[in-house]
Amino acid sequence: MNAASFGVIDPATGAEFARCPLATIAELGSTVAAAREAWPHWAATPIDERARHLEAIAAAIETEKDSLARLLSREQGKPLHTAAAGEIAAALMWTRATATLRPPVDLLQDDATARIEVHRKPLGVVASITPWNYPVLIAVWHIMPALLAGNTVVIKPSSYTPLSTLRLVEIANRVLPRGVLNALAGEGGLGQAMSRHPGIDKVVFTGSTATGRSIMAGAAPTLKHLTLELGGNDAAIVLEDAPVEKVAAKIFAKAFGNSGQTCAAIKRLYVHERIHDQLAEDLARRAREARVGPGDEAATQFGPLQNRAQFTLVCELAEDARTRGGRFLAGGRPLDRAGYFFPLTIVTDVNDDARVVKEEQFGPILPLLRYHDVDEALARANASENGLGGSIWSANLERASRLAKRLECGTAWVNDHATLSPLAPFGGVKQSGIGVEFGLYGLGEYMSLQTVRIAR
């Protein structure tokens, strides 16, 4: 029996508040073996019945949603009300929406010579590796379509936020057959071992681009299927006709939600020079008024950064902007208290070479960048190795939609950003990833195509 464990830190204090069992490589072997053993029966279970299991999981989560939200808020740092009404509610909605999906059988030809059908079949054992920003919701995004498609799953949450995922799996396992869904907690080495493991057929990964590359390399010798949802550095472009008082609240929410720790948050805000100062001041006022604090205080709107490394990075990016002459209209320095607190920060007068513009900040610091001409703004927005999301803000929907299509990214929004739908594909281009999640498009990534050709 392995008794090793690791500490889980409360980001609001910086102190350990719980211990989590640490899985060994030997346990990975026995867990993958259990998932393989469970696979044939689960794959042969009719999809309607697998869907009923997903609905039963949603019902089970619903009965535990308050305690799950408390655990999530404690280990991740987000305010309790956003953990409950935001992340857990979305996890329920996504589980139920996924349960309604049915992969089609395509009929390509049916004539005197042949009938050609295209069927979709499960892949086998899916490894899921998740990050620390939305540990319950992203686990649901991986697990539910994988299970619906007829695969079995081994999930490894981030070692920063393992507890809410382990709890989610425990709840789901009240209704699932043994071995169908398994969880192991550990650090990157365990994830790397999963990406190399010959008993795993696919890896679905959400996290940084660097780790995605390492997983791809690890998976190469065994030719695993891969879905990689990687980093983003999304640009939003605000056109000169955008009504500032109308768009400011939404832009603010879409940049700072989850304290900026969202893959598809607005991370670079290009604003036409005519309205730049007005929008900057509006956003700065909102940032100054925002309540940053521990997740368990009712008045808190924004929690701390989730971990020390991310906190240090945000401090460095602010420092770099300062040395380059950046003007801080709100925030700019860490709060003088325990935990990983950084205030909501608006910085202007930096150019595109500043680290806070070039790098994904993944934290509550938003650079505003002045532009003169929209072609120039689009070129600057697209001059990034990332391509997750992007947006155009304008009173003219027709013009904005035309410009949105010129953004080099997986999702382009008009007068919105980072709003996802369980039916619309979501994924990155360029270094933001390979493949998509959600809807039939995402479900297809958990299945292989089989052509059946019947000669006549």
3-state secondary structure of 222: helix
Can you say whether the dihedral through the CA atoms of 65, 67, 68, 73 is positive or negative?
positive
Contact by Cβ (8 Å): 340, 307:
yes
Contact by Cβ (8 Å): 87, 73:
no
Q: Give the C-alpha separation, 364 to 342, whole Å.
A: 7
Q: Which of 20, 75, 87, 229 is catalytic?
A: 229
Minimum Å gap between C-beta 206 and ligand NAD is 4
Q: With respect to ligand NAD, which residue has the nearer C-beta, 13 or 214?
A: 214
Q: Which of 20, 263, 315, 409 is catalytic?
A: 263
Residue nearest to ligand NAD (CB): 191
Q: Is 409 an annotated catalytic residue?
A: no
Q: At residue 196, what is the residue type?
A: R
CA 288 from chain centre, in angstroms, equals 27
Q: With respect to ligand NAD, which residue has the nearer C-beta, 150 or 410?
A: 410
What burial letters (b/e) apply to 389-419, b meaning 16+ CB within 10 Å?
Answer: bbbbbbeeeeebeebbeebbbbbbbbbebbe
Q: Give the C-alpha separation, 445 to 122, whole Å.
A: 9
Q: With respect to ligand NAD, which residue has the nearer C-beta, 263 or 271?
A: 263
Range list of H helices, 64-134: 65-76, 80-82, 89-99
Query: Distances in Å between the alpha carbon of 133 and those of 3, 71, 208, 304?
Result: 28, 14, 12, 12
Q: With respect to ligand NAD, which residue has the nearer C-beta, 214 or 415?
A: 214
Q: Where are the beta strands (DSSP E) in 11-53?
A: 15-21
Q: With respect to ligand NAD, which residue has the nearer C-beta, 72 or 329?
A: 72
Which of 295, 342, 297, 335 lies closest to 317, judged by CA?
342
Q: With respect to ligand NAD, which residue has the nearer C-beta, 214 or 448?
A: 214
Q: Give the C-alpha separation, 203 to 139, whole Å.
A: 13
- Reading the block at residue 18, the tokens are 């719980």
Q: Is 315 an annotated catalytic residue?
A: no
Contact by Cβ (8 Å): 151, 45:
no
Minimum Å gap between C-beta 410 and ligand NAD is 8
Q: With respect to ligand NAD, which residue has the nearer C-beta, 213 or 246?
A: 213
Minimum Å gap between C-beta 31 and ligand NAD is 16
Can you say whether the dihedral through the CA atoms of 439, 403, 279, 332 is positive or negative?
positive
Alpha-carbon Rg for the chain in angstroms:
23
Q: With respect to ligand NAD, which residue has the nearer C-beta, 152 or 386?
A: 386
Minimum Å gap between C-beta 148 and ligand NAD is 19
Return the DSSP state at 83.
I
Minimum Å gap between C-beta 211 and ligand NAD is 3
Expressed in angstroms, the distance from the first to the final Cα of the chain is 59
* Residue numbers at the binding site for ligand NAD (CB under 6 A): 129-133, 156, 158-159, 187-188, 191-192, 195, 206-208, 211, 214-215, 229-232, 263, 360, 362, 388, 428, 433
Minimum Å gap between C-beta 323 and ligand NAD is 24
Q: Give the C-alpha separation, 399 to 413, whole Å.
A: 13
Active site positions, annotated: 229, 263
